[in-house]
Structure 1
Amino acid sequence: MKQTLKVDKKIFQDAVKFYGTVLNLPPLASKIYSYLIFDFDKVGITFDEFVEVFSASKSSVSTSVSLLLNLQLIVDINKMDERKRYFFANDDYKRIRFEKIVQKMKDELKLMDDLKNFRGNENKEAEERNEAYKALLNKSIITIQESLNKL
């Protein structure tokens, strides 16, 4: 089996590093995800190709693919005339990623309000900084949600 995708090694290495860091992925999972980014024609990549391209054990590839599926970074399909599963980068990953970011910001706002209610009044300077931070979070939430609506 030969490699299905044409991959630029420098861009691939940059993507592996970026997604490994940003999405907190282990090295092989980051490589698999980055490789799928190069599937511009959406032909799909089989499990066996991952094993061969990355010279990795089936167990390691299976663990990484399962992680990526659970994180909704990739999707899989079975073609009608074949038993093999084909994997693709999830086109909705941007939406999913930013929805999670918005939820974390909302959770942080709630926690800040709960802490403020618990402690009561504190010094004015600290309260002003907290309010400025909350305003930044709220503005960011609105901006991200408006952009998500356009996706």
Structure 2
Amino acid sequence: MPSTLHIDEEIFQDMVRFYGETFNLPPLSAKIYSYLIFDFERKGICFDDFIQIFSASKSSVSANLNLLLNAELIRDFNTINGRKRLFMINDNYINIRFSAIINKMKQELLILDNLQKFRGCANETDVNRFLIYRQLLNKNIETIEETLDKI
């Protein structure tokens, strides 16, 4: 794979596997995303470079870039004097990803509360397990929110 960036092939392969599984990405999307992580200076990589680097068709690269853009994993931009569209990691993705996780946990808390009210369980063991799980969700929400405020 010819490269415009200095990459470590082993780390790259680990990242492709990890991000492919984590974000449920097709192989080329996982490769593009992982490759962009190595753009430490955030200069951006152009469309034509991806075609050359991954020996992929224009339509495949285009479809996978659009998938990553729609998922907000990457962003695109143009330089003032340049005609080419450049792609880079979306630095704001951490906030987007963890805000979505917080929302899911809050939704789960509402569902659990409604289920608990509906069930009206008097079994002490079940009530304690519910409370422990509820505390875990609340603690994780709080921890993530505090961390996002620091970032």
TM-score by length of 1: 0.94
Q: What is the DSSP-based 3-state SS (H/G/I as helix, E as strand, rest coil) of the residue aligned with 2:75?
A: strand
Matched to 2:76, the amino acid is D
Q: What is the DSSP-based 3-state SS (H/G/I as helix, E as strand, rest coil) of the residue aligned with 1:86?
A: strand
Paired residue total:
150
Task: Report 1:15-34 matches (<5 A).
Answer: 15-34=15-34
What's the offset of the Cα at 1:92? Answer: 1.3
Task: Report 1:2-151 matches (<5 A).
Answer: 3-151=3-151
Matched to 1:128, the amino acid is N
Matched to 1:123, the amino acid is N
Moved over 6 A (4+): none
Distance, in Å, in 1 between the alignment partners of 2:43 and 2:121 is 60
Distance, in Å, in 2 between the alignment partners of 1:120 and 1:95 is 37
What's the offset of the Cα at 1:122? Answer: 4.8
**What is the RMSD of the two structures over their aligned residues, measured on CA atoms?**
1.2
What 5-or-longer segments of structure 2 have no aligned partner? none
What's the offset of the Cα at 1:123? Answer: 2.5
Distance, in Å, in 2 between the alignment partners of 1:90 and 1:75 is 5
Identity %: 55
Q: What is the DSSP-based 3-state SS (H/G/I as helix, E as strand, rest coil) of the residue aligned with 2:87?
A: strand
Q: What is the DSSP-based 3-state SS (H/G/I as helix, E as strand, rest coil) of the residue aligned with 1:87?
A: strand
What's the offset of the Cα at 1:98? Answer: 1.2
Matched to 2:89, the amino acid is A
TM-score by length of 2: 0.94
Q: Which moved more, 1:89-98 or 1:132-141?
A: 89-98
Q: What is the DSSP-based 3-state SS (H/G/I as helix, E as strand, rest coil) of the residue aligned with 1:6?
A: coil
